[in-house]
């Protein structure tokens, strides 16, 4: 036969209180009397009110954020990059302009030397006073060549600059934002701007994506792809080219 046992009531665990405990406070995990239990409930609700005030303060601050202040540092970075890029372009242009001046001076020096030599030849014949027809004819050809060469200096197309369009690698600038992404599940293939572009394509700027298959992580076999991707609903497949880092992909519903 089993005998019934009774448990002696416990005293309230609140310091200095001798009342019998009749409730377990889940806030502090202690047995307390009714009076102190109600005090604990009030304390908990007061804490909730404090949390509500704190949350309202955070929401208010959130509504005060402006792009000018939030992106100030990033904007300054972009401006520094642009200024440095402009300085590099200006430096290159100045170097090429200096090359034009150098080439012109060398060309001028070369033709001046030829002109002096021809002038000396003509002067010598004049001084002799008995130049033959043959000697005069021999001078006509180099003088004509000299004249033609000097005439090129008067043409606007004497200089021609072969230029290729300036190609800027858009991947050289990448925007990142703390605690913000449209993709979850790992992976670093898509930059934030790529993610935004994808959302434009699917006409939903707030679209969220979850990485369900990655070759390096899940395997490159066809069965690996289908194991991870089948029956997942609308999916987007993205492949990055080795050269240039271009992205290719397709979407299916």
Model pLDDT for residues 145-173, shown as the tens digit of each residue: 999 999 988 888 888 988 888 888 777 77
The three-state secondary structure class of 136 is helix
Copy the structure tokens of residue 34: 């009714």
| Contact criterion met (CB below 8 Å) for 107 and 153 | yes
pLDDT at 13: 84
Domain of 133, in residue numbers? 70-154
Same domain, 76 and 135: yes
Q: Could you count the other beta carbons within 10 Å of the beta carbon of residue 131?
A: 15
16 domain residue, yes or no: no
6 domain residue, yes or no: no
165 domain residue, yes or no: no
92 domain residue, yes or no: yes
Of 154, 184, 205, the one marking the end of a domain is: 154
Chain segment 182-233, per-residue pLDDT in tens:
666 666 556 777 777 777 777 777 777 778 888 888 888 888 888 888 888 7
pLDDT at 9: 58
How many domains in the chain?
3
Same domain, 60 and 102: no
CA distance 156 to 7: 112
Residue 21 burial (C-beta neighbours within 10 Å; 0-12, 13-18, 19+)? buried
pTM of the complete model beyond 0.75: no
186 domain residue, yes or no: yes
47 domain residue, yes or no: yes
* DSSP code, position 9: P
5 domain residue, yes or no: no
For tokens 């955070």, what's the residue? 58
Question: Distance of CA 244 to CAs 171, 193, 196, Å?
Answer: 9, 17, 20
Chain segment 109-131, per-residue pLDDT in tens:
999 999 999 999 999 999 988 88
DSSP-assigned beta bridge partners for residue 238: 249
């Amino acid at each position: 036969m089993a005998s019934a046992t009774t448990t002696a009531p416990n005293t309230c665990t609140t310091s200095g209180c001798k009342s019998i405990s009749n409730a377990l406070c889940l806030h502090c995990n202690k047995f307390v009397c009714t009076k102190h239990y109600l005090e604990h409930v009030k304390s908990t609700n007061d804490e909730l009110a404090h949390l509500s005030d704190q949350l309202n303060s955070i929401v208010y601050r959130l509504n005060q954020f402006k792009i000018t202040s939030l992106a100030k540092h990033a904007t300054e970075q972009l401006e520094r990059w642009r200024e440095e890029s402009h300085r590099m372009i200006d430096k290159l242009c100045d170097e090429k302009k200096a090359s034009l001046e150098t080439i012109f001076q060398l060309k001028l020096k070369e033709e001046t030397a030829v002109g002096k030599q021809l002038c000396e030849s003509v002067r010598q014949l004049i001084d002799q006073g008995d130049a033959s027809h043959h000697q005069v004819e021999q001078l006509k050809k180099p003088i004509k060549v000299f004249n033609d060469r000097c005439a090129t200096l008067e043409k606007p197309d004497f200089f021609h600059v072969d230029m290729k369009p300036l190609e800027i690698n858009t991947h050289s600038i990448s925007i990142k934002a703390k605690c913000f992404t449209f993709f979850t599940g790992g992976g670093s293939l898509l930059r934030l701007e790529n993610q935004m572009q994808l959302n434009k394509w699917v006409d939903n700027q707030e679209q969220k994506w979850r990485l369900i298959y990655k070759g390096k992580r899940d395997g490159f076999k066809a069965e690996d792809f289908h194991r991870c991707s089948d029956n997942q609903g609308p999916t987007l497949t993205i492949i990055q080219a080795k050269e240039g880092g271009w992205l290719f992909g397709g979407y299916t519903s």
